[in-house]
């Protein structure tokens, strides 16, 4: 094993990793810059996998995040199909599945998450939707004409349901919660969203967890926690994620369901940083470490970390959390974070019409806003949340809009 490089190594060539590379160059770093990814064709628009790419009748490839020409012009060396297998913090090496030992002055961990596996009683993992290969399998479900049961009614499950309905597939969504997504958007918006699914012919099996799944000659038997059994021809699971930290176990980098960092993205090991879905970052506002699994956050935080390294800074990344979902041609935007016990107040439009702004808060504290069809209000509510404005201010802003 020979040592190569000794510049900056980024593990993961997706939203966070590629943005960190951009931030490094933008911040003036001119040395060697290597981005590794275990996927053969990494760096594509992941959110579109469960939206337009699955809904489309053609089999278009996911849009690349960077072109080869751009990477070459920026002097970014992308090693596709090279997985990091270990991190040596004493000798400052990343070791790959090809046996390379890549030296680093700084390393950015941006290896993201994988879909949490659901395994049948016989040990077979159920299909999930996280990457390019999963899309190919999901497309087969869309076209083989068999009914599909989706285990999990979160963002991925509901987006996949909507995309499969556009192919005319019979779809059932199972979820342990009576109102999936209510924790994030409140009861009224969650009910409206479920109503959209019902109106589009989705069958909903809510309020009972899936206990186990068994393979049968016809497909699957899904055993529910209340003892009922549902037969399913095809299934796809969307029940959360697991951080891709396996390659860091034993390295000395602090892990706690993700890579633990300070607000600026630094881990406990000097020179080791983490960005994106995998980063369990100190959140000064909430006073605890937490992960965000949002595309925009991964891009912004990755870039910030690149700038921090290039400029020798430790600036916090403290943007307002933002996530969106697209279902049946509607885009729901969520800013900030709704908290348990929050009151949900409609401040503009009508939820029933799918054209609204709902704010979420407790007492006079504004925590979050959920918008649909009112894109121009996004900027206003983002500003209010960034300024830690009160609920009173949010109501005033809506009244004067
Ligand atoms: C189907 C789907 C739809 C989504 N829709 C939305 C949405 O509408 N809005 C939104 O805000 N967010 C959405 N998300 C979430 C969003 O995609 C993630 O927040 C974002 O991709 C995180 O970027 P990341 O760079 O941190 O990690 P990832 O995108 O997970 O990338 C991590 C990369 O690291 C690589 N890797 C892992 N382990 C190793 C290793 N050991 N060595 C080398 N490489 C490794 C992986 O191959 C991968 O390319 C969606 C996610 C999915 C799966």
What would the pLDDT profile of 211-231 be if each residue is shown by its tens digit? 999 999 999 999 999 999 999
Name the band, by pLDDT with cuts 50, 70 and 90, for residue 287.
confident
109 contacts 253 by C-beta, under 8 angstroms: yes
394 contacts 347 by C-beta, under 8 angstroms: yes
pLDDT at 388: 92
The two counts, helices (H) then strands (E), for the chain are 10, 24
| Cα 3 to ligand 1 centre (Å) | 29
Mean pLDDT, the chain, whole residue set: 96
Work out which ligand 1 atom sits closest to the CA atom of 130.
53
pLDDT at 178: 96
pLDDT at residue 3 is higher than 70: no
Work out which ligand 1 atom sits closest to the CA atom of 43.
49
pLDDT at residue 86 is higher than 60: yes
Name which of 360, 398, 353, 354 is nearest 378 in CA terms.
Answer: 398
pLDDT at 399: 63
Residues 6+ apart with CB under 8 A from 50: 129, 138, 155, 156, 159, 160, 163
331: left (phi over 0), alpha (psi -120 to 50) or beta: beta
Give ranges for CATH 3.50.50.60 in the chain.
3-114+241-311, 117-237
161 contacts 150 by C-beta, under 8 angstroms: yes
Name the band, by pLDDT with cuts 50, 70 and 90, for residue 1.
low
Calculate helix-pair angle for 376-386, 391-400, nearest 10 degrees: 150
Name which of 222, 247, 245, 250 is nearest 235 in CA terms.
Answer: 222
Q: What angle do CA 244, 120, 52 make, to 5 degrees?
A: 60
| Cα 217 to ligand 1 centre (Å) | 34
Name the band, by pLDDT with cuts 50, 70 and 90, for residue 6.
confident
Q: In this structure, what token pair is assigned to residue 300?
A: 């912004």
Q: Name the residue of 10, 22, 38 to mutate for ligand 1: max ligand atoms within 8 A of Cβ.
A: 38
Type and span of the H or E element at 397: helix 391-400
pLDDT at residue 306 is higher than 60: yes
pLDDT at 285: 80
Q: How far is CA 231 from the centre of its chain?
A: 30
| Cα 228 to ligand 1 centre (Å) | 35
148 contacts 236 by C-beta, under 8 angstroms: yes
3-state class (DSSP) for residue 40: coil
pLDDT at 5: 63
Q: In this structure, what token pair is assigned to residue 345?
A: 């107040």
Name which of 176, 119, 130 is nearest 153 in CA terms.
Answer: 176
333 contacts 371 by C-beta, under 8 angstroms: yes
What would the pLDDT profile of 361-370 be if each residue is shown by its tens digit? 999 999 999 9
| Cα 387 to ligand 1 centre (Å) | 29
Rg (CA), the chain: 22
386: left (phi over 0), alpha (psi -120 to 50) or beta: alpha
> In 10 A of CB 381, how many CB atoms?
28
pLDDT at 18: 98
Q: Name the residue of 46, 49, 134 to mutate for ligand 1: max ligand atoms within 8 A of Cβ.
A: 46
Work out which ligand 1 atom sits closest to the CA atom of 83.
42
Work out which ligand 1 atom sits closest to the CA atom of 275.
26
What would the pLDDT profile of 22-37 be if each residue is shown by its tens digit? 999 999 999 999 999 9
What would the pLDDT profile of 101-135 be if each residue is shown by its tens digit? 999 999 999 999 999 999 999 999 999 999 999 99
Q: Are strands 365-372 and 272-274 parallel, antiparallel or unpaired?
A: unpaired
What would the pLDDT profile of 145-179 be if each residue is shown by its tens digit? 999 999 999 999 999 999 999 999 999 999 999 99
Average pLDDT of the residues in 304-310? 98
Class of domain 117-237: alpha beta
Average pLDDT of the residues in 6-23? 97
Average pLDDT of the residues in 291-298? 96
| Percent of the chain surpassing pLDDT 90 | 93
Q: Are strands 93-96 and 84-88 parallel, antiparallel or unpaired?
A: antiparallel
| Bridge partners (DSSP) listed for residue 102 | 4, 94
Note the CATH number of domain 3-114+241-311: 3.50.50.60
pLDDT at 4: 62
| Cα 112 to ligand 1 centre (Å) | 5
Residues 6+ apart with CB under 8 A from 134: 49, 115, 127, 128
Per the confidence metrics, is the pTM higher than 0.85?
A: yes
pLDDT at 35: 98
pLDDT at 229: 97
318 contacts 285 by C-beta, under 8 angstroms: yes
Q: Name the residue of 9, 10, 11, 12 to mutate for ligand 1: max ligand atoms within 8 A of Cβ.
A: 12
Give ranges for CATH 3.30.390.30 in the chain.
329-400
Q: List the residue whose alpha carbon is closest to atom 27 of ligand 1.
A: 112
How buried is 120 (Cβ within 10 angstroms: 0-12 exposed, 13-18 middle, 19+ buried)? middle
| Cα 256 to ligand 1 centre (Å) | 19
Work out which ligand 1 atom sits closest to the CA atom of 49.
1
Question: Which range, of 33-42, 108-117, 183-192, 285-294, averages the lowest pLDDT?
Answer: 285-294
pLDDT at residue 318 is higher than 90: no
Average pLDDT of the residues in 78-101? 97
Average pLDDT of the residues in 376-381? 94
pLDDT at residue 396 is higher than 90: no
Report, at the CATH architecture level, how domain 329-400 is classified. 2-Layer Sandwich (3.30)
């Amino acid at each position: 094993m020979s040592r190569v490089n000794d510049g900056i190594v980024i593990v993961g060539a997706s939203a966070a990793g590629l943005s960190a590379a951009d931030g490094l160059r933008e911040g003036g770093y001119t040395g060697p810059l290597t981005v590794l990814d275990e996927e053969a064709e990494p760096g594509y628009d992941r959110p579109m996998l469960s939206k337009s790419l699955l809904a489309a009748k053609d089999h278009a490839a996911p849009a690349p995040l960077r072109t080869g020409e751009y990477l070459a012009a920026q002097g970014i060396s992308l090693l596709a199909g090279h997985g990091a297998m270990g991190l040596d913090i004493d000798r400052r090496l990343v070791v790959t599945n090809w046996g390379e030992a890549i030296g680093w002055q700084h390393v950015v961990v941006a290896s993201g998450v994988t879909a949490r596996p659901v395994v049948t009683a016989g040990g077979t993992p159920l299909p999930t939707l996280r990457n390019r290969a999963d899309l190919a399998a999901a497309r087969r479900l869309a076209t083989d004409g068999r009914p599909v049961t989706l285990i999990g009614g979160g963002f991925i499950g509901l987006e996949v349901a909507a995309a499969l309905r556009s192919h005319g597939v019979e779809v059932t969504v199972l979820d342990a919660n009576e109102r999936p997504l209510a924790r994030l958007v409140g009861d009224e918006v969650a009910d409206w969203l479920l109503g959209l699914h019902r109106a589009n012919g989705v069958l909903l099996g809510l309020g009972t967890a899936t206990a186990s799944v068994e393979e049968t000659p016809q497909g699957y038997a899904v055993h529910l926690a209340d003892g009922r059994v549902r037969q399913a021809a095809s299934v796809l699971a969307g029940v959360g994620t697991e951080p891709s930290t396996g390659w860091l176990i034993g390295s000395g980098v602090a892990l706690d369901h993700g890579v633990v960092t300070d607000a600026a993205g630094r881990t406990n090991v000097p020179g080791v940083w983490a960005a994106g879905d995998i980063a369990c970052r100190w959140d000064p506002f909430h006073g605890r470490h937490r992960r965000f699994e949002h595309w925009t956050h991964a891009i912004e935080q990755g870039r910030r970390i690149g700038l921090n390294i290039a400029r020798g800074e430790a600036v916090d990344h403290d943007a307002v959390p933002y996530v969106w979902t697209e279902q049946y041609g509607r885009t729901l935007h969520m800013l900030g974070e709704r908290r348990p016990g929050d009151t949900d107040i409609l401040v503009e439009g009508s939820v029933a019409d799918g054209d609204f702004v709902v704010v979420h808060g407790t007492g006079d504290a504004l925590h979050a806003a959920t918008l649909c069809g009112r894109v121009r209000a996004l900027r206003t509510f983002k500003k209010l949340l960034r300024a830690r404005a009160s609920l009173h201010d949010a109501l005033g802003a809506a009244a004067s809009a």
